C-alpha cells in the first residue's frame, strides 16, 4: 500500500500557494509548473490537485473525473507548448526504487532537444 499522504510536502505547499511556482497551466484537477532544476530545455511538472502520493493511490482512489482531468492536463500542456510534433517524454518516478523524491504524484514532461533512447 502507498504511504499516507504528507500534506507538508513541497508540492502541497505549491498547491496551497505557500511557496511560489512558475506556473504554466492550471485547471480544476491539475497544476503544471516548471521544474526548479530543469534537466532539459523544457522540463515541466504536472500534478493532480488531489492528495495522492503516487500511482497506486491515485489509480485506486481518485474519482474518474480527476484521473481524466490529470491525463488531459498533461496532453494540454504538451499541445500548448508545441511539443506534439517534435515529441517529448513523460516520466513518473514512483516510490523508493523509482527514485521519487516528492511524495505527491507528478509527471515530468521533458522536451526541447532529442532526448535519446531511455528505457529503465
Ligand atoms: P522526483 O524525483 O520526485 O520525481 O522529482 C521531483 C522534482 O521536483 C525534481 O525534478 C525537482 O527538481 C523538483 N522540485 C523539487 N522542489 C521543487 C520546488 O520547490 N519547485 C519546483 N518548481 N520544483 C521542485
Beta bridge partners of 89: 110
| 72 lies in some domain | yes
Residue 96 Cβ contacting ligand 1 at under 6 Å: no
Residue 85 lies in a domain: yes
Residue 9 backbone phi and psi in degrees, to 5: -70, 160
Give the chain's domain count: 1
120 in any annotated domain: no
Q: Which residues pair with 45 in a beta bridge?
A: 33, 108
State the residue range of the domain holding 36.
10-111
- pLDDT, residue 118, reads 83
Q: What is the CATH number of the domain that holds 20?
A: 3.30.428.10
Which one, of 15, 13, 32, lies nearest residue 109 by Cα?
32
In short, whether 35's Cβ falls inside 6 Å of ligand 1 is yes
Tell whether 65 is covered by a domain. Answer: yes
Q: Is residue 2 part of a domain?
A: no
Average pLDDT over residues 57-69: 98
User: Which residues are known to be catalytic?
Assistant: 106
List the end-to-end C-alpha distance of the chain, in Å, as a whole number.
23
pLDDT tens, residue by residue, 75-94:
999 999 999 999 999 999 99
Residue 14 lies in a domain: yes
ipTM, two decimals: 0.99
Position 117 in a domain:
no
Which residue, 20, 115, 116, 33, is CA-closest to 81? 33
SS3 at position 14: helix
This prediction's pTM: 0.97
Within a domain: 80: yes
What's the rounded Cα separation, in Å, for the pair 12 and 21? Answer: 12
Q: Ligand 1 mean position to 54 CA, how many Å?
A: 15
Amino acid at each position: 500500500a502507498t504511504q499516507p499522504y504528507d500534506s507538508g510536502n513541497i508540492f502541497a505547499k505549491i498547491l496551497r500557494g505557500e511557496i511560489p511556482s512558475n506556473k504554466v497551466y492550471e485547471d480544476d484537477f491539475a497544476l503544471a509548473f516548471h521544474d526548479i532544476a530543469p534537466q532539459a530545455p523544457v522540463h515541466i511538472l504536472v500534478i493532480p490537485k488531489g492528495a495522492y502520493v503516487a500511482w497506486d493511490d491515485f489509480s485506486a482512489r481518485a474519482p474518474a473525473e480527476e484521473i481524466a482531468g490529470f491525463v488531459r492536463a498533461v496532453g494540454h500542456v504538451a499541445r500548448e507548448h508545441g511539443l506534439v510534433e517534435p515529441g517529448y517524454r513523460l516520466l513518473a518516478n514512483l516510490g523508493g526504487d523509482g527514485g521519487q523524491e516528492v511524495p505527491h504524484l507528478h509527471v515530468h514532461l521533458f522536451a526541447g532537444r532529442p532526448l535519446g533512447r531511455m528505457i529503465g
